[in-house]
Amino acid sequence: MPSMAAMAAIEGRQIRSTGALIALTCNETAHLLNALFPTEPGIEHVLGWSLFSRSHQANAR
């Protein structure tokens, strides 16, 4: 069962605290979702990314 803070973060609500909270950023939301629902990339994704990265590095030279 997700914690109250996690549920508030997913729903975009702010929990009450002694100080003011700022709104969640896109990166923080992505980080929270990845922490709640971790996945590992498949081998096809890893190899595809490696080939893509290496080809762009070769073109940059």
Entry pTM: 0.40
Encode pLDDT of 9-28 as tens digits.
666 666 666 678 889 999 99
Per-residue pLDDT of 23-52, as tens digits, reads 999 999 999 999 999 898 899 999 999 999
Whose CA is closest to 8, among 21, 19, 18? 21
Indicate the DSSP class of residue 36: H
